[in-house]
Amino acid sequence: MDRRKILLDADVGIDDAIAMLHLAGRSDVELLAVGSVHGNIPADLAAVNARHLLELCGLDDVPVAYGARQPMAQPLATAEWVHGEDGLGNTNQPAPKRGPVAEDAVSQILRLTREMPGEIDLLAVGPLTNLGLALCLDPELAGRVRSVVVMGGAIAHEGNASATAEANIWHDPEAANLVFGAEWPVTMVGLDVTQVTRLRTKELAEIEAIGSVRSKFALKVLSHYLDVYQRTFGTRECPLHDPLAAGIVADPTYMTEWLDRAVEVNTTGPTRGATIIDRRAWMAPAADARETRERNGGKDATPPLVRVPMKVDGPRFVADLIASLK
């Protein structure tokens, strides 16, 4: 089987951890390396959490690199109230056996994509600071990457970090504009699909029935996350932001409806961090415009087209997620 080679960039909090468990349990992906980034928690703690997750999954040899400790143009802000002081729902996990590598996350992205041009899929489930910095250091990076899947943004859905902004984009809007403006095939998995793809009572019971090390860990860290979302939804269920993006990088057919549009991130005023696309029907590009552009090498005067899923096959994805915890 042709396994997707994935380079993960993450602010390893609770849903990032579930995404890592899912990747580790899929036979169609190979996790090459992980880079940490600020966001849910400080970047250095996210790196420690990534190491812990890899060791839990028997992926001890996958390297973890420290990434950006702050956004490009705004102060650091973290979200321990959602993810716990340790980023893993205050579950007091043991220290990992190994530490992160000496190479930083941006250098790791540049080096691995030079060693394996055209083979790597970048999966970014935190703020886009590392990817933005990597593009600034080496604009040719875009041409060496097979695809980029970002968990972030919101089109028709309201924001979760502000009225209009999704958290990962809100944490570093300048970096997000660099990523959406580069000539590489980006899929933006936003709140329109992640907020409605959820674990509910039935699925939580299915995970409990598995009884594996990974399923037990998942339920333990999810407890805090479910407490937080119970206050929002009124019921004990939670969205699957990062896990869905991880699923889509492995199997894009989870997406059933999408828009291919230029994405611009607003960087001023109260809607800073909002992701804006032109949804007017008469402005829609041809259905195959994104593929044509890729074939032509993007020598176009117009901004790149980002794929934005608006509907996914949620039940199939959730079933696969549960199966991956066995």
What would the two tokens of residue 94 be? 């043991």
Is residue 168 at the binding interface for ligand RIB, with CB under 6 A as the rule? yes
157 is annotated as an active-site residue: no
**x/- letters, 223..242, toward ligand RIB (CB under 6 A):** ------------------xx
State which of residues 8, 9, 15, 22 lies at the interface with ligand RIB (CB under 6 A). Answer: 15
Residue 145 or 191: the one with the smaller Cβ distance to ligand RIB is: 191
Residue 130 contact partner, candidates ligand RIB, Ca ion, none, CB within 5 to 8 A by sort of partner: none
Give the count of beta carbons closer than 10 Å to the beta carbon of residue 242.
30
State which of residues 36, 113, 147, 160 lies at the interface with ligand RIB (CB under 6 A). Answer: 160
Is residue 39 at the binding interface for ligand RIB, with CB under 6 A as the rule? yes
With contacts defined by CB under 6 A, how many residues of the chain interact with ligand RIB?
Answer: 15
Residue 166 contact partner, candidates Ca ion, ligand RIB, none, CB within 5 to 8 A by sort of partner: ligand RIB
What would the two tokens of residue 52 be? 């812990």
The enclosing H or E element of 276 equals strand 275-276
Is residue 130 at the binding interface for ligand RIB, with CB under 6 A as the rule? no
Burial zone of 223 (CB within 10 Å; 0-12 exposed, 13-18 middle, 19+ buried): middle
CA-to-CA separations, 31 to 3, 61, 125, 242, in angstroms, rounded: 10, 10, 14, 15
Give 310's DSSP letter: E
Is residue 40 at the binding interface for ligand RIB, with CB under 6 A as the rule? yes
Is residue 167 at the binding interface for ligand RIB, with CB under 6 A as the rule? yes
Angle at 89 between CA 167 and CA 165, to 5 degrees: 10
Is residue 104 at the binding interface for ligand RIB, with CB under 6 A as the rule? no
From 172, 153, 21, select the one nearest 88 (Cα to Cα).
Answer: 21
Residues of span 219-248 touching Ca ion by CB under 5 A:
242
Q: Count of residues for the chain? A: 326
Which span sits near ligand RIB by CB under 6 A: 114-122, 128-136, 159-167, 299-307?
A: 159-167
Q: DSSP H helical segments within 70-165, as ranges?
A: 80-83, 105-115, 129-137
Give 43's DSSP letter: H
Is residue 42 at the binding interface for ligand RIB, with CB under 6 A as the rule? no
**Backbone phi, psi, residue 158, to 5°:** -70, 165
Give 190's DSSP letter: -
Residue 247 contact partner, candidates ligand RIB, Ca ion, none, CB within 5 to 8 A by sort of partner: none
State which of residues 25, 67, 84, 126 lies at the interface with Ca ion (CB under 5 A). Answer: 126
From 80, 49, 320, 55, select the one nearest 203 (Cα to Cα).
Answer: 320
Residue 146 or 241: the one with the smaller Cβ distance to ligand RIB is: 241
Residue 224 contact partner, candidates ligand RIB, Ca ion, none, CB within 5 to 8 A by sort of partner: none
Separation between Cα atoms, residue 42 and residue 13, nearest integer Å: 10
- Cβ 124 to ligand RIB shortest distance, Å: 9
The residues carrying an active-site annotation are 241
Give contact residues for ligand RIB (rule: CB under 6 A). Answer: 11, 13, 15-16, 39-40, 125-126, 151, 160, 166-168, 241-242
